[in-house]
């Protein structure tokens, strides 16, 4: 039987802002990108959430719901700094730590806790140490698998501590909404409601075969997770699938020079991240959202993985110019992502042409964007 702890920081970005700016502590703090324009909410304090403000909500909507709120720009470098401190702290308890995001992680304490009661005690120590060393609160869940531990950490936010034992899991699960099951989004939830299923317990009488027939592989997930069964391990080493950046313009843009300039800046960012991770990419994808909110993506996969800004920009720009309908169309959002990632070789013999390209990486704005 595994002993899993799930740590989820409370309103992380907003809480860091309160930590660094005591004068806003206890107030309706809303953190987002493009707070003066058409950005979205990244994090909201629990005081702001009382007014209906949620993550991923347009800033304009948040301002209407909470006009007295304190709106702050995202400071990602600062949040990552705290996140690194958090992950190091967690590894003081066990090397088996799986970061899920900058503010969330699983710990597997199976081998260091003699029994489940000791795992609960470790969970309490983790929560206490996070508060002492970062000044921030975390909600912590302890259970016999990852699904239940994550579920537990979210039941009594903020600053919660919940334990789910195998003996208690059915009683806890039965009346929770099906949306609490990992993988159940709005579409699946609607389909389940159409079947007359709104709570997890109502899934139990449905045979696995019927769920698989209706939902494919997700049906098997629904069958097992609804019963609190999850055999997925804590993964300490993982390979990123993609790196991406996007930007929502302050106003809808038709000017190709402005659009290209923003795309170039985003491409610089993703290539920089790619190099920092010592990776190369084969697939370049751009995303465009028009003023009517229609969103399209266009991709190209090249034969040789690259981390060259000049190469990535060439294909991103080509996709924009040749594969996206721009004539008389205003654009709301532009983005670029790199995928099909491979590890860059540590020692390599570069062809003369590639050496020349590396020595001539674009240092100035490409023509047409001045």
| Number of other CB atoms surrounding residue 325 within 10 Å | 9
Which DSSP symbol is given to 46? H
Q: Which among 59, 20, 57, 25 has a CA at the least distance from the CA of 39?
A: 59
Contact 307, 274 (CB under 8 A): yes
CB 163, CB 120: distance < 8 Å: yes
Residue 266 and residue 334 in contact, taking contact as beta carbons nearer than 8 Å: yes
104 catalytic, yes or no? yes
Q: H helices within the chain, ranges in order?
A: 12-20, 46-49, 59-65, 76-91, 116-134, 146-153, 169-173, 186-194, 208-215, 217-225, 256-276, 309-323, 352-359
What is the rounded distance in angstroms from the CA atom of residue 344 to the CA atom of residue 333? 31
DSSP line for 207-265? -HHHHHHHHTHHHHHHHHHTTT---PPPPS-----EEEEEEEEEEEE--HHHHHHHHHH
Three-point CA angle 185, 188, 192, nearest 5°: 130
* From 36, 104, 180, 322, active-site residue: 104
- Which residues make beta-bridge pairs with 283? 301, 339
Q: Which residues contact 321 (CB under 8 A, 6 or more apart)?
A: none
d(CA 58, CA 73): 14
Q: Which residues are catalytic?
A: 104
């Amino acid at each position: 039987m595994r002993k899993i702890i799930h740590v989820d920081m409370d309103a992380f970005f907003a809480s860091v802002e309160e930590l660094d700016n005591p004068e806003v502590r206890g107030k309706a703090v809303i953190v987002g990108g493009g707070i003066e324009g058409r950005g979205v909410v990244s994090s909201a304090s629990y005081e702001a959430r009382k007014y209906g403000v949620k993550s991923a909500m347009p800033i304009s909507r948040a301002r209407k719901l909470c006009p007295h709120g304190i709106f702050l720009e995202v400071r990602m470098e600062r949040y990552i700094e705290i996140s690194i401190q958090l992950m190091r702290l967690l590894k003081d308890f066990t090397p088996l730590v799986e970061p899920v995001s900058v503010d969330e992680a699983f710990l597997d304490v199976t081998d260091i806790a003699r029994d489940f009661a000791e795992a609960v005690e470790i969970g309490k120590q983790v929560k206490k140490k996070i508060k002492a060393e970062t000044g921030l609160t975390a909600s912590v869940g302890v259970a016999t698998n990852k699904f239940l531990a994550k579920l537990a950490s979210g039941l009594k936010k903020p600053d919660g501590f919940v334990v789910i034992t195998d003996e208690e899991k059915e009683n806890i699960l039965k009346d929770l909404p099906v949306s609490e099951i990992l993988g159940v989004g709005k579409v699946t939830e609607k389909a389940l409601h159409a079947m007359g299923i709104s709570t997890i317990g109502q899934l139990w009488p449905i045979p696995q075969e019927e769920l698989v027939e209706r939902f494919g592989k997700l049906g098997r997930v629904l069958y097992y997770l609804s019963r609190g069964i999850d055999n997925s391990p804590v993964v300490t080493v993982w390979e990123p699938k993609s790196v991406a950046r996007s930007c929502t313009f302050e106003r809808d843009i038709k000017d190709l020079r402005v659009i290209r300039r923003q795309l170039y800046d985003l491409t610089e960012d993703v290539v920089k991240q790619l190099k920092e991770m010592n990776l190369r990419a084969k697939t370049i994808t751009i995303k465009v959202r028009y003023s009517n909110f229609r969103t399209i993506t266009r991709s190209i996969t090249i034969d040789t993985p690259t981390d060259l800004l000049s190469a990535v920009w060439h294909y991103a720009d080509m996709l924009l110019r040749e594969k996206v309908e721009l004539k008389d169309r205003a654009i709301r959002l532009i983005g670029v992502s790199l995928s099909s990632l491979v590890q860059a070789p540590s020692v390599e013999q570069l062809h003369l042409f590639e050496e020349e390209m590396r020595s001539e990486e674009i240092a100035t704005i490409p023509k047409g964007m001045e």
